[in-house]
Amino acid sequence: MPVSFSPNWKILEGAKTVHKLCPRCHNEVDFQLVYEKVGIMFFTVLVMPTKTIFALHCPICIQVEDVSKEIVAKLRA
């Protein structure tokens, strides 16, 4: 499932960054590992989280890229 920008993304503190060229803003930056919990919502309140989605986020623009579980494990270590 492709991810899209959301204002609910939170930066995973203590995770390593990935230095790369952003395809959207064309800046060479350190992409940050971000996450968002999704699940059952009651209006705008998350009542029961069912899973966590991880992605790499450009700190300059709204570019967000999917990331596999193996890469998440490497960046968290």
In a domain, 58, yes or no: yes
Residue spans of the chain under pLDDT 70: 1-2
In a domain, 20, yes or no: yes
Structural domain boundaries, residue 57? 10-76
In a domain, 52, yes or no: yes
In this predicted structure, what is the pLDDT of residue 1? Answer: 55
Question: How many angstroms separate the Cα of 71 from the Cα of each of 50, 55, 62?
Answer: 21, 10, 21
In this predicted structure, what is the pLDDT of residue 14? Answer: 92
Distance between CA atoms of residues 43 and 45, nearest Å: 6
In a domain, 2, yes or no: no
In this predicted structure, what is the pLDDT of residue 3? Answer: 78
Report pTM: 0.83
Q: How many domains does the chain have?
A: 1
